[in-house]
Amino acid sequence: MITLENIEKVYETKSQRVIGVDKVSLTIQKGEIYGIVGYSGAGKSTLLRCINILERPTSGKVIVDGVDLLQLSGKKLREARQSIGMIFQGFYLVSSKTVFDNVAFALKAAGVDRAERKDRVLELLSLVGLADKANQYPAQLSGGQKQRVSIARALANNPKVLLCDEATSALDPSTTKSILSLLKKINEELGITIVIITHEMEVVKEICDRCAVMQDGKIVEQGASYEIFANPMESLTKEFIKTVLDFQLPAKLVQNCTGTLVKLQFRGNLAEEAVVSDMLQQHSVKGNILHGKVEYIREKPLGIFIMEIIGEQPEVNKAINYLENRVQQVEVIQGVS
């Protein structure tokens, strides 16, 4: 659906040359939810705006649904942009217009007649859960409701792609969750390809099929979200993952442990099986779970546990060997196996 080839965006000033996006290439499949993660200044929002040519890349190709948008201009580019909806952190609603008129504005600009506009607006407001807010004004809405209006407006012209630029950053955790659920619903029911820019790995964990991590205008790591969480390769990615999956034990607790400390990773259905219990029953060792959690990455379980194994060293070794044959990753943190 979306292919970016060697996208570069350079800003020239009298005193310096700033590279906003540095030769980025990626492919986003039709119907998936793709996350682009990075800290402020990483270039992620600039890259997103290159997809609909709100920022014209200095070089490279932007291919959306088989069309290289950089080869279009004027009317043809405007028509192509109608298939790409966009929502922002700041909502950008017209305060003097009602909810109905804010959504209808995009349809009016596209030349849709009044009767059809009305039906479409009411359909969209129902989709985003605001059917009863049509005659209210933005000032009367909560932040989450304003973002729902923005989403309805972005969907007005039946886009094939929806770009979300930090769409949940200004919202509280509960509202963020409801907006992410709405985006997931839109993706599943309408088949719209969604690209999400965020600095929150919780967003990626919740709804993204795949993701890319950006730093200094470049993509440093990309892949299936589950694999990124389960096995991050780059230090920046690991830093982001820790905001969701932090398993650092207090130093005092580690010092007081007399056995062997191991970190275990369980993927998929194995995260819900009694592997540790089976190990303790089959080997002459004792075990203490010191830290553990099962997270769900796009609804697929990923379990990470830290435990102390106590016993004679040969039995501890056998227990660890048993775990290595049953789980995806076993890391000895302290003690000799």
- pLDDT band of residue 293 (cuts 50, 70, 90) is confident
**Cβ 60 vs Cβ 7: under 8 Å:** yes
Average pLDDT, the chain: 90
Domain 251-334: give its CATH code: 3.30.70.260
Query: Does residue 207 register a pLDDT over 90?
Result: yes
- 2-242 and 251-334 have identical folds: no
C-alpha torsion angle, residues 274, 280, 283, 286 (rounded to 10)? 160
Continuous H helices in the chain: 44-51, 74-81, 99-109, 114-127, 143-154, 173-190, 201-207, 225-230, 235-242, 251-255, 275-282, 313-324
Per-residue pLDDT tens over the stretch 24-44: 999 999 999 999 999 999 999
Distances (CA, A) of 182 to 147, 151, 152, 218: 11, 9, 11, 30
- For the chain, the domains span 2-242, 251-334
Task: Say which amino acid occupies 218.
Answer: K
pLDDT at res. 271: 61
- pLDDT band of residue 333 (cuts 50, 70, 90) is confident
**Locus of tokens 């969480």:** 229
Per-residue pLDDT tens over the stretch 220-255: 999 999 999 988 999 999 999 988 887 677 777 777
**Locus of tokens 């470049």:** 218
Continuous H helices in 91-166: 99-109, 114-127, 143-154
Q: Judging by beta carbons within 10 Å of its beta carbon (0-12, 13-18, 19+), is residue 273 exposed, middle or buried?
A: middle
Q: Rounded CA gap, 118 and 298, in Å? A: 36
- Give just the sign of the alpha carbon dihedral 166, 4, 300, 282: negative
Strands 161-165 and 84-88: parallel
Give DSSP secondary structure letters for 182-209.
HHHHHHHHH--EEEEEES-HHHHHHH-S
Q: Rounded CA gap, 94 and 111, in Å? A: 19
Q: How many helices (H) and strands (E) does the chain have?
A: 12, 14
> What percent of the chain has a predicted confidence (pLDDT) above 90?
58
Q: How far apart are the first and last CA of the chain?
A: 49
CATH architecture group of domain 2-242: 3-Layer(aba) Sandwich (3.40)
Give DSSP secondary structure letters for 290-311.
EEEEEEEETTEEEEEEEEEEES
- pLDDT band of residue 337 (cuts 50, 70, 90) is very low
- Give just the sign of the alpha carbon dihedral 72, 75, 76, 77: positive
pLDDT at res. 147: 93
Q: Judging by beta carbons within 10 Å of its beta carbon (0-12, 13-18, 19+), is residue 49 exposed, middle or buried?
A: buried
Could you tell me which residues come within 8 angstroms of residue 318 by beta carbon, excluding any fewer than 6 positions away?
Answer: 283
Q: Rounded CA gap, 20 and 218, in Å? A: 9
Q: Rounded CA gap, 63 and 52, in Å? A: 10
